[in-house]
Amino acid sequence: MRILGIDPGYGITGFGLIEAERGNTQLLKCGAITTPAGADFSARLEMIYEDMRALLEAAKPDAVAIEELFFGQNVTTGIGVAQSRGVILLAIRQAGLQVYSYKPMQVKQAVVGYGNATKHQVQDMTKRLLHLEKLPKPDDAADAIAIALCHARSSTSLLAQFQQR
């Protein structure tokens, strides 16, 4: 199964494409969609939408996993990220793909085995699970790969298989 993981943002949206088959998982591609900081916000959203459509067309994933939003201290930034996530979800929907959302704690639990793991622990385990020589950059891409791994592990669990019947 080809899984595209997405870490939404309006400055940088990370993505990671993995292939997961019977316990064997490999990284196919990762990177980031970026928008210029000085651009009009609606233009940035349009860039994200168009780039996401092109990515979905090129990657041809079977499933898309995206991180749910966590509103911490900066609600203003969270609103912008929510709008970015909205245009990403629209592009996924228009591509006819199923989208799966995961909370940050779920990603940490699936990748590290501990829901309160640090960002460094998640990145290190992602590197180990995929047998990578170095951590993918930018951090947003590494986060997106972890989201894809979360879906790979969640979708192949016995509970998930039971619920699909």
Q: CATH number, domain at 30? A: 3.30.420.10
With a pLDDT cut of 70, the percent of the chain lying above it is 90
Q: Which domain holds residue 41?
A: 2-164
Q: 11 φ, ψ to 5°? A: -90, -45
Predicted local distance difference test score (pLDDT) of residue 79? 87
pTM of the model: 0.90
CB 126 within 8 A of CB 150: no
**Euclidean distance between the first and final Cα of the chain, in Å?**
18
Annotated catalytic residue, options 67, 68, 124, 139: 67
pLDDT over threshold 50, residue 165: no
Q: How many domains does one find in the chain?
A: 1
7 part of the active site: yes
Predicted local distance difference test score (pLDDT) of residue 158? 45
CA 114 to chain CA centroid, nearest Å: 19
Q: pLDDT (tens digit, 9 = 90+) per residue, 55-109?
A: 999 999 999 999 998 766 666 678 889 999 999 999 999 999 999 999 999 999 9
62 part of the active site: no
40 part of the active site: no
Given pLDDT bands bounded at 50, 70 and 90, which one contains residue 14? Answer: very high
Overall average pLDDT of the 113-133 stretch = 92
**In angstroms, what CA-CA distances link 75 with 37, 69, 71, 151?**
18, 11, 6, 27
Token pair of 16 as six digits: 């990671």
Annotated catalytic residue, options 7, 21, 62, 133: 7
CA distance 80 to 9: 8
